[in-house]
Structure 1
Amino acid sequence: MRLFVVLLAGVAATLAQSASAQTPEEPPAVVKALGACRALTDNAQRLACYDAAAASLVQAEAKGEIVVVDRARAEKVRRQAFGFSLPSLDIFDRPARAARADAPESARTEPPPPLDRITTTVKRASLRGDGKWVFELEDGAVWLQTDTEPLRKGARAGSTIEIRKTAMGGYFLNVDGQRAIRANRIK
């Protein structure tokens, strides 16, 4: 467990450094170069500019210098990370670059709604010796009950679980519609 926390802290620090090196409002240079081509009025120059910028963009992605993520993938990452507090993952909560104030009205999109609850299925559930439940979900996430509220009927594989954020930053879990219990994500 301690190794996991140390590794998680290292990953968070690395991501935070790379996030601070490039502000989220500022697109990478290869994307800026592509956008700059729009300003050219000569058709031949504009086409040559777009060809060069597109080639640079494709090359940068192939080298792993940039990563292109569509909304579906961003939503999947947001769901997988639900319950963790990693500030560098907030890039998946940001609206598409097209929603920026300087984008043309026709190109703007609505930002995704905040992810404050998920509903999923329990893969495994076990009751520890101290009376607290551990839930492994279908996506591999593991949640540990933090209060001592008993469940009327036990959780089992296939149980439906709803997890929602509380106003103070914690999480409530409802198993098969039962009374909510408090829990934290541990994996």
Structure 2
Amino acid sequence: MAHLPLRLLVISAIVLPMPLAAQDRASDKLKTPEVVEELFNCRAIENPEERLACFDREVERVFAANETRDLVITDQSEITEAKRGLFGLNLPNLRIFSSDNGSEDVDQLTATLARVSRMDNGRYLFVLEDGARWMQTGNVNGAQRYKEGDEVLIKKASLGSFRASVGGRNAGKVRRLD
């Protein structure tokens, strides 16, 4: 019973910030760019000639913003592909890659080994076909022989770590270098 005040303090420290965290997540959603909102607003104009003039004007603004790269238009498949390319890197939480935006979460990656080399400490450095470099961080029992062309499966593991298998053989824990 003597520890009850301490327990209540710990529980309140965990529970009280939760609504604030939920608000932060809601505000993290991507907003529609103003130039696109203006285009969408044209739909509300009842007069067909005015609506068409609005669409013509606003489409030109969207086109110009796209040409100057002030506005980047993409689809979910491109975002998912970017997530795959960044898989394993320790990046800040970027709103554009949030699963709230409808893009698929990437929890594993399958690729082909472009290069493999054994380091002085006996662990391996794996270079994937896209140039991503992964270093073996955990020990693996037995002599492993990995070679170029082997298929690599890298999965998210606990506490932000990653596990790999190469050619169907356990390669243990790995860490993305770049």
TM range (shorter): 0.7 to 0.9
SS at match of 1:179: strand
Structure 2 stretches of 5 or more lacking a match? 1-26
How much does 1:112 deviate?
Answer: 3.2
Q: Aligned partner of 1:148: which letter?
A: N
Question: 1:151 and 1:138 mapped to 2: Cα distance?
Answer: 26
Aligned length: 152
Q: Which residue of 2 aligns with 1:166?
A: 157
The AA in structure 2 aligned to 1:91 is: I
The answer (yes or no) to whether the contact 1:161–1:176 under 8 Å persists in 2 is yes
> Structure 2 matches for 1:97-112, cutoff 5 A?
111-112=102-103
Alignment of 1:71 onto 2:76: yes
Give distance in 2, aligned partners of 1:115 and 1:75: 7
162, 168, 172: which is aligned to 1:181?
A: 172
CA distance in 1, matches of 2:130, 2:94: 18
Alignment of 1:32-51 (within 5 A): 32-51=37-56
Structure 1 counterpart of 2:96, one-letter code: I
Q: Distance in 2 between matches of 1:79 and 1:89?
A: 14
Distance verdict in 2 for CA 1:145–1:178, change over 3 Å: same
- Mapped to 2, the partners of 1:167 and 1:138 lie a distance apart of 26
| From 128, 131, 143, the counterpart of 1:140 | 131
Q: 2:59 aligns with which of 32, 50, 54?
A: 54
1:135 maps to amino acid: F
TM-score by length of structure 1 reads 0.74
Match of 1:127 in 2: 118
Indicate the RMSD between aligned Cα atoms, in angstroms: 1.9
Partner SS, residue 168 of structure 1: helix
> Which residue of 2 is the match for residue 118 of structure 1?
109
Give yes or no for contact 1:151–1:179 (8 Å, CA) kept in 2. no
For 1:67 and 1:52, the matched residues in 2 are separated by 19
Contact in 2 for aligned 1:144/1:186 (Cα 8 Å):
yes
| Residue identity in the other structure for 1:46 | R
- Please report the TM-score for the alignment, with normalisation by the length of structure 2: 0.78
Alpha-carbon distance in 2 for matches of 1:136, 1:23: 34
Instruction: Tell me whether 1:87 sits opposite 2:92 in the alignment.
Output: yes
Any gaps of 5 or more consecutive residues in structure 1?
Answer: 1-21, 97-110
In structure 2, relative to structure 1, the CA distance for the partners of 1:84 and 1:137 (3 Å cut) is same
% identical equivalent positions = 30
